[in-house]
Structure 1
């Protein structure tokens, strides 16, 4: 591990030297690339420097203790040595965490797709609850959300909804939400007071940016312009502004009608199509890399039942990490931090275990 850290430190120093060269500042592309690489390495380098300083201080203190005769100074040195010995393992653990390979999608915006599953109208009502939960969570993080398309039912439920969450690190927070969510409660449509179990599926896809190559030949996509339907807002369904894209090789159909502008709907539809195709590509990679899948905490399999929301008991249980929280109302109002932090910690621990086994 420390050979690798030394190599990273030398690389970081080389980047700093190159950034100070006059000709690099004139090359905007090269300068931006170096700045990005420097920024990504800084936390690890700073932590490693802290580790080296702590270790050097410990060695110096031990050396001073061996030659010191003053009892008071010896007591102070012993206390300092004890503190430094306690700090070293913590800093080393932080180094191991920082060495975990970064997910290249972590800093990206995300596109979420929620679909009602088993349970009819109640499943659609639950899908609407999940949509509200994620928009509330995004709002608490300072992220911006915008609808792409929504298919509603008359009693306030959603058969399906697609929306974008924009904000730095949005994917790193929301990527663990993909999978089947289950609700157990008495539906508003139930007159007999019986508890029903319904489901909704959530797919979280990174928004495809310029650094990702997704080849979509024009002949593979049919685009239709139609008049928006439903309650899209004043003026939305009076013009031919809705856009439907059909990706012929996969059969994926994208529909966007939430904006008045045909161009805005077109841009949203293409963003969703690119993300869906990229997501399919990632799924294929996950399916072929069984070892990688085993080291992940629920970020691959869309059919995995990941969480249960039990209203009678007021609890939410995440089945992947065996965590149960008795605060269902707060969670459905967007208070997801405790769940997401626990999922990130579990994922980190699994990757650390795998990394340590390979060292």
Structure 2
């Protein structure tokens, strides 16, 4: 481990020298790649330097224990009492830092929510969970763009909604949300006070850049149509909405959020690239990753990853056995404790050498 850390420190020093070279700034692509690699290495190198400083302090103090001067020996014992308890925790942190990282963790994400079992009640819960994610995004200062949404027959409900979440390390936080979310509560339309169970599906896809996945123009069929729903005078009068079909995989993406056909096309292509990227990633890592259909499921209540029980004010994440009795706060976007617990569980499994899927 420490040989690898020494190599990382040497690489970090080399990158720092490159960053100070004025000639590097003229090549923006290389400059950005160098800066990113340097940023990625920096926390590990800083922790390694802390470990070296503590280790050197312990070695010096042990040498002083052999000194004939009683005062120096007393100082050495005090120094050891202070430094030795710090060494093991730093080493544990370094082990965690050296665990293989998900290459998608720094990416933006495409989030897709769809109503499953439960009809109108499921559609209402889609809207509420999406609102929860919007509040969570606000806390992290992420930017959210709605790409498409389909309203249900009752006020405020959504049959489905797709949005892009952009910001710092979005996928590293949101990737654990993929799966079936079950809700238990008394619907507003229930006259006898019975608790109903409904379900929605959530899919979180890392956004693919053009360098990640190449889409050939000949493989696309692009259709335009009139937008529907809220939107002012342009609705049903201009062909601004776009539907893109990737012919080899029969993947269909549509977007009508913008009044501009060009902007809708750009947004639809972002979603299409991300879906195709996921398919390719599954093909390459099929032994490690679940297929998307398994990840998201059919929306049946039995395929749940999480339950939201409103009568008991309880959230339960079934993957790690976590129970939180502050559901009202979670629905206001206070999702971080749950995410942190999932991340900690994932790290613990990796420390054991086990492969764990996000969902």
**Deviation at 1:139?**
1.3
For 1:233 and 1:75, how far apart are their aligned partners in 2?
A: 80
- Kept in 2: contact 1:236–1:259 (CA 8 A): no
For 1:232 and 1:182, how far apart are their aligned partners in 2?
A: 32
For 2:188 and 2:285, how far apart are their aligned partners in 1?
A: 39
- Kept in 2: contact 1:126–1:157 (CA 8 A): yes
- 1:139-187 deviations in Å (ceiling 9; x for gaps): 1211111110101112121111101111111111111100110111111
Shift of the 60–208 alpha-carbon distance from structure 1 to 2, 3 Å rule, reads same
- Counterpart in the other structure of 1:54: 54
Aligned match for 2:295, one of 301, 317, 320: 301
Shift of the 68–347 alpha-carbon distance from structure 1 to 2, 3 Å rule, reads farther
Task: Describe how 1:160-309 pairs up with structure 2 within 5 A.
Answer: 160-212=160-212, 214-233=213-232, 235-289=234-288, 301-303=295-297, 305-309=304-308
- Kept in 1: contact 2:67–2:73 (CA 8 A): no
Task: Name structure 1 gaps, 5 residues minimum.
Answer: none
**Deviation at 1:23?**
4.8
- Counterpart in the other structure of 2:98: 99
- Kept in 1: contact 2:210–2:273 (CA 8 A): no
- 1:205-230 deviations in Å (ceiling 9; x for gaps): 11112441x13222222111111012
- Kept in 2: contact 1:148–1:256 (CA 8 A): yes
For 2:210 and 2:85, how far apart are their aligned partners in 1?
A: 45
Pair 1:342 & 2:341 matched: yes
For 1:334 and 1:88, how far apart are their aligned partners in 2?
A: 37
For 2:214 and 2:24, how far apart are their aligned partners in 1?
A: 32
Q: Aligned to 2:286, what secondary structure does the other structure show?
A: helix
For 2:272 and 2:92, how far apart are their aligned partners in 1?
A: 40
- 1:1-42 deviations in Å (ceiling 9; x for gaps): 112112222222333344445654544433332222222111
- Counterpart in the other structure of 1:110: 109
**Deviation at 1:201?**
0.5
Task: Describe how 1:66-81 pairs up with structure 2 within 5 A.
Answer: 66-71=66-71, 73-81=72-80
- Kept in 2: contact 1:51–1:91 (CA 8 A): yes
Pair 1:4 & 2:4 matched: yes
For 2:28 and 2:275, how far apart are their aligned partners in 1?
A: 32
**Deviation at 1:90?**
1.1
Q: Aligned to 1:82, what secondary structure does the other structure show?
A: helix
Greater CA deviation, 274-283 or 329-338? 274-283
Task: Name structure 2 gaps, 5 residues minimum.
Answer: 298-302, 355-359
- Kept in 2: contact 1:232–1:257 (CA 8 A): no
- 1:188-215 deviations in Å (ceiling 9; x for gaps): 2222221111111100011112441x13
- 1:296-340 deviations in Å (ceiling 9; x for gaps): xx9x83335211001111100011111100011111111101001
**Deviation at 1:106?**
1.4
For 1:50 and 1:349, how far apart are their aligned partners in 2?
A: 23
Task: Describe how 1:71-150 pairs up with structure 2 within 5 A.
Answer: 71=71, 73-150=72-149
Instruction: Give the CA RMSD over aligned residues.
Output: 2.1
- Kept in 2: contact 1:227–1:241 (CA 8 A): yes
For 1:27 and 1:122, how far apart are their aligned partners in 2?
A: 54
Greater CA deviation, 309-318 or 218-227? 218-227
- Kept in 2: contact 1:228–1:242 (CA 8 A): yes
**Deviation at 1:123?**
1.1
Q: Aligned to 1:180, what secondary structure does the other structure show?
A: strand
- Per the normalisation by structure 1, the TM-score is 0.90
For 1:315 and 1:321, how far apart are their aligned partners in 2?
A: 15
- Per the normalisation by structure 2, the TM-score is 0.90
Q: Aligned to 2:160, what secondary structure does the other structure show?
A: strand
- Kept in 1: contact 2:107–2:207 (CA 8 A): yes
